[in-house]
Amino acid sequence: MKKKILIYGAGAIGRGYIPWIFPSEDYKLSFVENNKELREKFQGRNEFITYMVKGSRYEQIVCKFEDCFAPGEEDVDSYDAIITAVGPRQVLLLAPILSKARCPVILFENDSGLSLELRNLTKKKDIFFGIPDVITSNTAPNEILLIDPLSVVTEEGVTYIEEGASSLGGHVSYVSASEMKKQWMAKLYIHNTPHCIAAYLGSLKGFDFLHEGMQIKSIYTIVQGAMREMSQTIVKLYNLDNDFVDWYSDKELYRFSNILLHDPISRVAREPFRKLGLRDRLIGASQLSLSAGVIPKNIILGILTAFSYDQSKDEDAHIKILLNSLNPNDFLEIIIGLKSHEALFRLISSSWQISMKKLGEISK
């Protein structure tokens, strides 16, 4: 009998990647989706096409699904597993629902601390962290969308899940805590940090897709520099193998530049305040670099670019308004939360004018 999986979030990971690792020929998949417009695209259907980049071509599978619910319509008791892919800000809101589930829950969210937080909130022990080491767009080229408007494009990757969830099966790697930490350090700092920097820099040029910015030498150089700073940091602090880190870095630069992935800047750059959190991939990463004796000059350029992110439809669209309303030091202290005695505060403040000038040149 096929195991039934309920997926919270029918976006990029939900409908673009999960059907490849838990294929509908082996599992019964259902979705819960908050976006009414997207949910309506599922109505009257029981399948959609998802595409994977393999080499220089696309491969496709037809994903059959059971239902696509509006939040509150689902019955969590009728599933063998639940997977969330809704974003770190939204997943904690699911705590009351997840506490009622009698099946394992896997979090495909970009925050390794959420599994413990949700275990505490729900008093539920079988909540596990997962890392889809993959880039999945939330859209596809027009010629694909004309065939199926629900199609998205993903790449071939590896998914790591805490070994306690191994009974679910699928095309994933269930790994130990030590391996999970290694993969998360690489994902968080060699992928997440340069990835959003590439998006913010591309946005400065007015581009729509990540690969467009990566074709610009000045942008590529900053992204590569940020990746090098983070690589040096995690090798020093976490004793990661140099060969693994070098391989991971080369892989990331190739992914960011891959035109076939059709990865929107708006997806990667969204919610800049979250990415600028004191323990997250920009400010947090810079603090980590400084603790390792690495000066994060390229990451600081990325931070300043995030300050300037100008997307009216973004949840954090007011960041640009706040930036323009305050002097740099007040912005750093009041809005970002850095203290004037901190080394990172002084580095950003002292390089502000020169860095902003450089970013202005890139934007032309």
The last residue of a domain, from among 144, 175, 206: 175
Residue 47 has pLDDT above 90, yes or no: yes
Q: How many domains does the chain have?
A: 2
Residues 209 and 338 in one domain: yes
Query: 206 and 162: one domain?
Result: no
**189 and 166 within one domain:** no
- What are the DSSP E strand ranges found in the chain? 3-8, 27-32, 47-54, 57-64, 68-69, 81-84, 105-107, 127-133, 153-155, 158-162, 173-175
User: To which residue do tokens 């896997």 refer?
Assistant: 106
**Is the same domain home to 321 and 283?**
yes
- Tell me: the pLDDT tens digits for 225-243? 999 999 999 999 998 999 9
Tell me, yes or no, whether 164 and 189 share the same domain.
Answer: no
Q: Is the pLDDT of residue 67 over 90?
A: yes
Same domain, 35 and 98: yes
Domain that holds residue 205: 179-363
Domain end, chosen from 136, 159, 175, is at 175
Residues 163 and 185 in one domain: no
Q: What is the CATH number of the domain that holds 344?
A: 1.10.1040.10
pLDDT interval class at 89 (50, 70, 90): confident
Q: Are residues 137 and 188 part of one domain?
A: no
Same domain, 215 and 94: no
* 197 in Cβ contact with 222 (< 8 Å): yes
The arithmetic mean of pLDDT across residues 118-140, rounded, is 96
Model confidence at 98, pLDDT cuts 50, 70, 90, reads very high
Same domain, yes or no: 75 and 169: yes
- Rounded CA-CA distance 331/338 in Å is 9
**Is 364 a residue whose pLDDT tops 90?**
no
> Among 264, 106, 241, which residue's Cα sits nearest to residue 178?
241
Instruction: Give the residue-averaged pLDDT of 321-341.
Output: 96
pLDDT-derived band at 166 (thresholds 50, 70, 90) equals very high
Residue 317 pLDDT greater than 90, yes or no? yes
Residues 238 and 157 in one domain: no
Per-residue pLDDT tens digits for 175-216:
999 999 999 999 999 999 999 999 999 999 999 999 999 999
CATH number at residue 54: 3.40.50.720
Query: Has residue 1 got a pLDDT over 90?
Result: no
Specify the amino acid at residue 19: P
310 and 198 assigned to the same domain: yes
CA-CA distances (angstroms) from residue 349 to 14, 22, 299, 300, 307?
40, 48, 14, 10, 13
Mean pLDDT of 149-155: 96
Residue 42 contacts residue 150 (beta carbons within 8 Å)? yes
Structure token digits, residue 290: 């400084």
The angle that helices 283-291 and 297-307 make with each other, rounded to 10 degrees, is 160
